[in-house]
Chains A and B, each alone.
Chain A
């Protein structure tokens, strides 16, 4: 068969991380090729190498048999490669036509004036080719997510794209809309366009794909014909390795419930979420990105409170409307994005730690800097923050040490429950181990810990119990002895119970 795009031995290194390790890939003319892998397996980096956002350190790329190298998305776009993202990158206030022709408008030859008539006509033809009829004067903002994606596809076609990459196109779509999208995609394939399709949904892969390539931990695992690989083999390919005991999970005596959540609902975000965390216990809340885990955490912490349901801390039902009430109830949160949600990068370590509990350091109207410094020093020593002193700026620290500052900040408050939202995101392996060590310490001290994580090894290695969410609902709960990666992944991806 005819190969349109081939990548050989691609390696991409970011400071401290190998994002792609010797990955090869080939795309045939007129096929739909699914690209699968866990969060962080390297799919996005791989796409960015193809579109020219990242330049690989090693490896070659061939388009139509000729070696190519792209310096920017502009290069790849003009070579006929277009990418459609999960979240539309369109301009909501511009019309369909304006969006389609943005950047390559049709102009009248002499005056260079915009030829709207020709653009509208051409836009309508493109949409017609995809089998939809929309008024081309409609603004993007008025369209549904699915319709916006069709316009994005039309935009790609308008620039004669021969390869279209779709990054999780069905993530925000209903079942019917997904079905429609499958139709358009097949129509494109029959027109001779080659498609790379990234998705977490097995349904998508089986329904659409001709072949599938799996990446795991930045490495190429294999490529199969869709009808050649079973569901079970697919999951093993995605998850792969045995869990080695890198995690210092300690045996801690587990006490009374520290946090109980009952029937927590937030309309359109999550429904009927119930679970509990006991003293000394580490409970993982896992699932795919977008399953509603962080939203549940932010509801418990009062950033965006739930509509209904009950939160019980230490046996007492508490009302949490804002983070202050959550703190008073004994709930602490380590937010997902430490630079945006937790740190003031321009401030010293000491002031950042102090910000965790301003009340504690305020006495008779005045702020007690001395007490803040002493507490900060103690916590910084306890968590082994590496810096020349607590007066170093947070911006000068590595990701792992910044995360430790945030943990110190959370620990300034007298807490019962600590919610850790992706605590090891973007930190190196050494810092990861240190953070696991700290989690062990905290559980020994009797804190209830709710760990939100997408990383399977971390979830399996650290938790006493594992709660799995999918599309805003809890789909499964496992004990640490019965949990397997396959079972968790199945509950996070496949479980279709309760899904509208």
Chain B
């Protein structure tokens, strides 16, 4: 029978060998750690040390709301797809919540509505993407980006809406000790997304789908269902983002969160997820959220204007992608030897 043909070449010991030093330290995340430490160092010296005080946590409040988008965007990009409608989804969820509250809906119900609107927007993207495979998701979400923003514009025209109860502001501005609720919420979500991505079957299927859609299909992976889930999750997180953003600004306008989709995509790319999908991990994503967030904050300390800030972040992105290419090629060369 077959077991006579056991193969000496297959090393069984490899099963127990958990730690591979070279593989571990060649990881992209180490470069991100270095960049983050450098940025923190500069921030500390620029602020004369006061950055290490309550500011250290407090400053995260400026970039936490968009960070929620990054987590679900990671899923979408690992699948090899893209969603550029999330900024508009945030605006629509936020505006509808404000309109509903001002029309007499209780605040609690308005919060739920905000989340539901986001979820529905994401679900619609997902349904279109699975039913019309010939359309690239870039185009689908470009269309819904315009549509969702358009609806928000019709609802509020050019007005702002607010007047929320005081406790609503607390969602974003409240803290536990020096740590804002938003940071805690982000870390909780990050852990959940990380577990789903790295420890569950669904996560494995996301990577499989991003690497080879056809082979996944032949391996009985429900490719379409996963795509629908990823887009819907992106909508849910857009709703969460809308909650924290509206709470932080205490009012909303139809043009809030414009450009958030691009920032979220930039963070995912910096985290080492290639645009074609199939690779990357959540620790890189968390690191890149803090890199870009603290970088913006630090540049603010130097009174750098917003346009210059964008240029610097753009350069960081291009530079890091180039370095990652260098790293990957280097790994291949080592293997040949």
Contacts and interface: CB of A to CB of B under 8 A. Distances in A.
B21 interface: no
A466 to B, nearest CB: 26
A362 B10 contact: no
Given A327-B220, A341-B214, A391 B14 contact: yes
Contact of B220 (A323, A342, A343, A383): A323
Given A367-B199, A373-B15, A409-B219, 19 more contacts: A303-B217, A324-B220, A340-B212, A341-B215, A341-B218, A342-B219, A343-B212, A343-B215, A351-B204, A355-B219, A356-B219, A362-B200, A367-B204, A377-B10, A381-B7, A384-B7, A386-B9, A387-B9, A444-B1
Contacts of B212: 340, 343-345
A380 B10 contact: yes
Chain B: interface residue count, which band? 20 to 34
Contacts of A227: none
Return the 7 tightest CB-CB contacts between A and B, nearest first: A389-B14, A389-B11, A362-B201, A344-B211, A323-B220, A384-B7, A355-B219
Nearest to A361: B201
Is chain B's binding surface mostly helix, strand, loop or mixed?
helix
- By CB atoms of chain A within 10 A, which of B5, B219, B222, B278 has the most? B219
Given A386-B7, A409-B219, A340 B2 contact: no
B204 A323 contact: no
A33 to B, nearest CB: 39
Interface in A380-408: 380-391
A346 B215 contact: no
A143 B3 CA distance: 58
A432 to B, nearest CB: 16
Given A346-B278, A358-B201, A366-B199, A388 B215 contact: no
9 contacts: A344-B215, A346-B211, A355-B208, A358-B220, A359-B201, A367-B200, A381-B6, A384-B7, A391-B14
Is chain A's binding surface mostly helix, strand, loop or mixed?
mixed
Contacts of B208: 344, 355
Interface string B209-247: 001101111111110000000000000000000000000
A406 to B, nearest CB: 9
Interface string A52-91: 0000000000000000000000000000000000000000
Contacts of A367: 199-201, 203-204
Interface in B20-66: none
A361 B279 CA distance: 21
A323 B217 contact: yes
Interface in A136-164: none
A385 B214 CA distance: 24
Given A342-B215, A347-B211, A381 B203 contact: no
B7 A385 contact: yes
A324 B222 contact: yes
B131 interface: no
Nearest to A413: B220
Contacts of B7: 380-381, 384-386
A287 interface: no
A203 interface: no
Interface string A349-363: 001001111110110
B205 interface: yes
Contacts of A327: 220
Contacts of B222: 324
Contacts of A345: 212
Contacts of A390: 10, 14-15
B299 to A, nearest CB: 37
A303 B5 CA distance: 34
B12 interface: yes
A127 B141 CA distance: 46
Nearest to A372: B204
A438 B3 CA distance: 11
A365 B208 CA distance: 18
Contacts of A387: 9-10
A359 B202 CA distance: 10
- By CB atoms of chain A within 10 A, which of B1, B3, B14, B222 has the most? B14
Contacts of B3: 381-382
A384 B5 contact: yes
A333 interface: yes
A458 interface: no
A55 B88 CA distance: 56
A381 B208 CA distance: 24
A389 B10 contact: yes
A377 B218 contact: no
A209 interface: no
Interface in A232-270: none
A314 interface: no
Contacts of B211: 344, 346-347
A399 to B, nearest CB: 16
Given A344-B208, A367-B203, A367-B204, A388 B219 contact: no
Contacts of A438: 2
Contacts of A358: 201, 204-205, 219-221
Contacts of B219: 323, 342, 355-356, 358, 409
Contacts of A280: none
Contacts of B205: 358
Contact of A441 (B2, B9, B214, B220): B2
A34 B111 CA distance: 76
Contacts of A381: 3, 6-7, 10
Given A347-B211, A358-B205, A385-B10, A377 B2 contact: no
Contacts of B10: 377, 380-381, 385-390
A94 to B, nearest CB: 20
A340 B214 contact: yes
A374 interface: yes
- By CB atoms of chain B within 10 A, which of A359, A361, A381, A409 has the most? A381
Nearest to A391: B14
A391 B11 CA distance: 10
A410 to B, nearest CB: 10
A335 interface: yes
A342 B212 CA distance: 9
A366 B216 CA distance: 19
Contacts of B217: 303, 323
B218 A323 contact: yes
Contacts of A365: 200
A277 B217 CA distance: 25
A249 B7 CA distance: 23
A382 B5 CA distance: 7
- By CB atoms of chain A within 10 A, which of B11, B200, B201 has the most? B201
A343 B6 CA distance: 23
A339 to B, nearest CB: 9
Contacts of A373: 15
Contacts of A340: 212, 214-215
Interface string B179-210: 00000000000000000000111011100100
Contacts of A444: 1
